[in-house]
């Protein structure tokens, strides 16, 4: 799995490099208007709610890159990837990122250790590049809500248990335990690092219940919400 994730990240780094090169070339062309915002979507999901599938299908529809827990953790752990993310940001964005990180860490976060500092830097760098779907890791609690959409995906517990049981060939009792344990683990991560409640409705722009509207409905709502929310912003490149 590790080599596959490294390949995914390497491919994304090359994409960032190409975009940075194009921006540097375009800046000398007065006819080219530089986009000020490249949006992103954060997705927090209850285990078994379909949030992962929604994220991947939405990324395909928008042409965005997925950053899930495994990818984010590898970037956090490996300095060469963190350096590459920063290298291909514009100088103005790098300066803004540093000011933003310091502001976040001087706020009300409980855990100000090295892991959180590095994670926040990675999340902020990815958000600066934009055109990303970021899954979990508390991204919605730190990223500027004006540049993207924060989404929480939920579904009724029995439906989530049945989904996980079917996908992993587990009994109902086994699946229920896995769902509840995973929900608890994710909520504990948010409480520990961000001193927040993962289910706080005010932490999200949209909460979608796939038990009622399904995967397709959720994708349509999120895409519409992203475009509607940022429509008034100048120079947005969706």
Tell me 139's DSSP state: G
Look at residue 123 in the predicted model and tell me its pLDDT.
92
Contact (Cβ atoms closer than 8 angstroms) between residue 126 and residue 137: no
Q: Which parts of the chain have pLDDT scores under 70? A: 1-2, 26-35, 105-113
Look at residue 197 in the predicted model and tell me its pLDDT.
95
Q: Give the pTM.
A: 0.87
Look at residue 28 in the predicted model and tell me its pLDDT.
60
What is the residue extent of each domain of the chain? 38-227
Please say whether the dihedral angle defined by the alpha carbons of residues 91, 64, 115 and 82, taken in this order, is positive or negative: negative
Look at residue 15 in the predicted model and tell me its pLDDT.
86
Look at residue 26 in the predicted model and tell me its pLDDT.
67
Q: Domain 38-227, what fold?
A: Rossmann fold (3.40.50)
Look at residue 1 in the predicted model and tell me its pLDDT.
46
Look at residue 30 in the predicted model and tell me its pLDDT.
58
Look at residue 144 in the predicted model and tell me its pLDDT.
84
Task: Spell out the SS3 assignment of 203-222.
Answer: HCCEEEEHHHHHHHHHHHHH
Look at residue 66 in the predicted model and tell me its pLDDT.
94
Contact (Cβ atoms closer than 8 angstroms) between residue 128 and residue 155: no
Calpha distance 9→51 (Å, rounded): 21
Tokens of 168: 């992993």
């Amino acid at each position: 799995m590790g080599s596959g994730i490294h390949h995914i990240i390497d491919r994304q780094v090359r994409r960032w490099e190409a975009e940075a090169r194009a921006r540097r070339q375009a800046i000398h062309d007065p006819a080219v208007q530089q986009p000020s915002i490249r949006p992103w979507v954060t997705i927090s999901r209850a285990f078994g709610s379909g949030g992962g599938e929604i994220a991947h299908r939405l990324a395909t529809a928008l042409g965005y890159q997925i950053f899930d827990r495994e990818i984010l953790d590898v970037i956090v752990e490996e300095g060469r990837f963190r350096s590459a993310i920063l290298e291909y940001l514009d100088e103005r964005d790098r300066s803004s990122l540093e000011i933003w990180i310091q502001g976040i860490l001087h706020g009300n976060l409980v855990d100000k250790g090295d892991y959180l500092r590095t994670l926040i830097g990675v999340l902020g760098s990815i958000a600066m590049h934009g055109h990303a779907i970021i899954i979990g890791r508390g991204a919605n609690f730190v990223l500027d809500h004006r540049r993207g959409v924060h989404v929480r995906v939920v579904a009724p517990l029995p439906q989530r248990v049945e989904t996980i049981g079917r996908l992993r060939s587990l009994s109902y009792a086994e699946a229920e335990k896995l769902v509840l344990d995973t929900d608890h683990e994710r909520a504990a991560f948010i409480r520990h690092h961000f001193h927040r409640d993962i289910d706080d409705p005010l932490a999200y722009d949209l909460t979608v219940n796939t038990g009622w509207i399904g995967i397709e409905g959720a994708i349509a709502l999120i895409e519409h919400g992203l475009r509607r929310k940022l429509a008034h912003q100048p120079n947005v490149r969706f």
